[in-house]
Amino acid sequence: MSNNLIEMDKRHFIHPTSSIQQQQKNGAKVIMEEGDGIYLKDITGKWYLDAVSSLWNVNIGHGREELAKAAAEQMKKMAFSSAFSTFSHEPAIRLAEKIASLTPEGLNAVFFTSGGSESNDSAVKLVRHYWKIQNRSERRKIISLKRGYHGVAAASTSVTGIPEFWGMAGHMMTDFIHVDTHYNSTTDQAIASLRQAIEESGPETVAAFFAEPIQGAGGVLIPPDDYFPRIRALCDDYGILFVADEVITGFGRTGKMFGIENWDVIPDVMTFAKGVTSGYFPLGGVVVSETIHNVFKEKSLGTLFHGFTYSGHPTGAAVALKNIEIMEQGQLVENSRLMGNRLLLGLKKVKESLEIVGDVRFVGLLGAVELVEEPVSNKRFAQDQHVTLKAIEALHERGVICRGVTYDNTDIICIAPPLIINQEQVDQLVEGVYEAILKVQQQLGIKR
């Protein structure tokens, strides 16, 4: 059975974000078949603790009957119907209203998509539309952060600040600029980099600044506390829109409903996906401010030539509404904050008893552990030691799935378990991380 599946996988399934040659050489390493709470089981019967919520998205955990039921009920009643032009339907209307009630003040109108990449591409087009209908078409440029990840569609690939993604099909689009992130830098330096880019581009040509409240795929990079307030002020000074990409940080991940709320900053636009349905249905969206919506209402004449078949999918909307209800009833945003604190404390203790743990950081249940050769000086390992790979494999052996990040010669283990995790499970995760890193130390010949 398993060999047969591996052969079929090699022959017919081009995996997303993967090495095609490695797949052909080694076959799929793990084929999952079942999920329950924070755990996943593969076809050999081995259980894993899903410590990155799969793709940072399964916020309420696996195997929730209520969501299956919500989908089935909506599918039986009306699986799909258009929301184009003058058509609408109750699930999308109710979800838009619900999201507007959860997002920070003033962000009240939602455009739906099928995921994060479509959301960021839509945000690029909607902010450009906003400027165009005000006779400011020259405001086209999009500035974002190095190490930022915003997706792989046409524009979102270019908003992404990880060069590996640009080269795959040629190069990135024009009018996209990347500035220094706050990672391993001071707020002054990061703000100066943005200011310089705006000045050099010509402030009147910049449409928007995009950033994740916490850079996820770049390695869970948490900004200093004064970073976003100063970003907000700088954008206001130049009349530039601020777009917060909440695809990972939205829906409770950071111990607040939305990540940017950790710094009391209100963006002009927010994009979301992942946690809105906990991955039970592909759905995302863009939320715009009243100011932007009012300009649309007044000046967007004729048809808005932008819409996906599945914008506001009724079944997806029904699943999202049930998912949000479960989050609210189970106080999962609060649990994310509490369990995140416990995880941070536990992993800080792990750092004390090991030799190669550098920075340990968490906001809610979004965090990372960095592995370094010398924690005091923050000296990094040579990349040919493949420390991250070793750690991810050691974790895997112990039945813990984490995500490794190695861009720019870093060794970062990202950790973001489902928001339903409890104290015992946090302790189990901490133990698994400790044992895995201890094994890496032994492999590297580091003794205690």
Contacting range for ligand PMP; rule: CB under 6 A; set: 69-77, 110-118, 399-407, 434-442: 110-118
Among 124, 208, 248, 317, indicate the residue that binds ligand PMP (CB under 6 A).
Answer: 248
Residue 211 sits in the site that holds ligand PMP (CB under 6 A): no
Residue 311 sits in the site that holds ligand PMP (CB under 6 A): no
Residue 158 sits in the site that holds ligand PMP (CB under 6 A): no
How far apart (Å, rounded) are the C-alpha atoms in residues 419 and 434? 21
Among 54, 59, 117, 122, indicate the residue that binds ligand PMP (CB under 6 A).
Answer: 117
Provide, rounded to whole angstroms, the least separation between the CB of residue 246 and ligand PMP.
Answer: 8
Residue 217 sits in the site that holds ligand PMP (CB under 6 A): yes
User: Amino acid letter at 153?
Assistant: A
Residue 216 sits in the site that holds ligand PMP (CB under 6 A): yes
User: Which is closer to ligand PMP, CB of 281 or CB of 434?
Assistant: 281
Residue 142 sits in the site that holds ligand PMP (CB under 6 A): no
User: Which is closer to ligand PMP, CB of 250 or CB of 432?
Assistant: 250
Residue 287 sits in the site that holds ligand PMP (CB under 6 A): no
Contacting range for ligand PMP; rule: CB under 6 A; set: 26-34, 41-49, 245-253, 313-321: 245-253
User: Which is closer to ligand PMP, CB of 385 or CB of 406?
Assistant: 406
SS3 letters for the chain?
CHHHHHHHHHHHCCCCCCCHHHHHHHCCCCCEEEEEECEEEECCCCEEEECCHHHHCCCCCECCHHHHHHHHHHHHHHCCCCCCCCCCCHHHHHHHHHHHHHCCCCEEEEEEECCHHHHHHHHHHHHHHHHHCCCCCCCCEEEEECCCCCCCCHHHHHHCCCHHHCHHHCCCCCCEEEECCCCCCCHHHHHHHHHHHHHHHCHHHEEEEEECCCECCCCCECCCCCHHHHHHHHHHHHCCEEEEECCCCCCCCCCCCCHHHHHCCCCCEEEECHHHCCCCCCCEEEEEEHHHHHHHHHHCCCCCCCCCCCCCCHHHHHHHHHHHHHHHHCCHHHHHHHHHHHHHHHHHHHHHCCCCEEEEEEECCEEEEEECCECCCCECCCHHHCHHHHHHHHHHHCCEECEEECHHHCCEEEECCCCCCCHHHHHHHHHHHHHHHHHHHHHCCCCC
Residue 250 sits in the site that holds ligand PMP (CB under 6 A): no
Provide, rounded to whole angstroms, the least separation between the CB of residue 55 and ligand PMP.
Answer: 6
Residue 141 sits in the site that holds ligand PMP (CB under 6 A): no
Please count the residues of this chain forming the interface with ligand PMP, following the rule CB under 6 A.
15
Provide, rounded to whole angstroms, the least separation between the CB of residue 329 and ligand PMP.
Answer: 26
Residue 247 sits in the site that holds ligand PMP (CB under 6 A): yes
Provide, rounded to whole angstroms, the least separation between the CB of residue 435 and ligand PMP.
Answer: 28
Residue 212 sits in the site that holds ligand PMP (CB under 6 A): yes
Among 121, 245, 261, 373, indicate the residue that binds ligand PMP (CB under 6 A).
Answer: 245
Lookup: tokens for 333:
């945003």
Q: Scan for tokens 């399964």, then name that residue.
A: 58
Residue 280 sits in the site that holds ligand PMP (CB under 6 A): no
User: Which is closer to ligand PMP, CB of 142 or CB of 217?
Assistant: 217
Provide, rounded to whole angstroms, the least separation between the CB of residue 153 and ligand PMP.
Answer: 7
Residue 115 sits in the site that holds ligand PMP (CB under 6 A): yes
**Window 32 to 61, contacts with ligand PMP (CB under 6 A):** 55
Residues that bind ligand PMP (CB under 6 A): 55, 115-117, 120, 149-151, 212, 216-217, 245, 247-248, 273
